[in-house]
Amino acid sequence: MFDEDADSDAEQRRAALGFVNEAFAEAIISGLESDSFAHAAMFAAFQELVGTYGEDAVAAYAEKLPRRIRDGEFTATARH
């Protein structure tokens, strides 16, 4: 079944990632180290999530990150 809300959420997340990628590129062009910007971006993201969902929910989400990282979910792949 087609879920219009899920499609809309996915589109918003793709757009948001585009904005984050642009900000990342601008920071690097401005001379910031990429890892410094990445740490700041993660801090800001977790701060926002905690403000929205609370510490317990975000901690439960974060507990799943090691598996997702090891499974390659965040590994950049070449796009053709």
Q: Is the pLDDT at 1 greater than 80, yes or no?
A: no
CA 53 to chain centre: 16
How far are the Cα atoms of 24, 55, 72 from residue 18, in angstroms, in the given order? 10, 27, 20
Least confident of 4-8, 44-48, 71-75: 4-8
Reported as a pLDDT band with limits 50, 70 and 90, residue 4 is: low
| pLDDT-above-70 percentage for the chain | 91
Look up the pTM and report it.
Answer: 0.75
pLDDT digits (tens, 9 = 90+) for 67-78: 999 999 999 874
C-alpha closest to that of 49 among 39, 40, 59: 59
The CA angle 37-58-26, to the nearest 5 degrees, is: 15
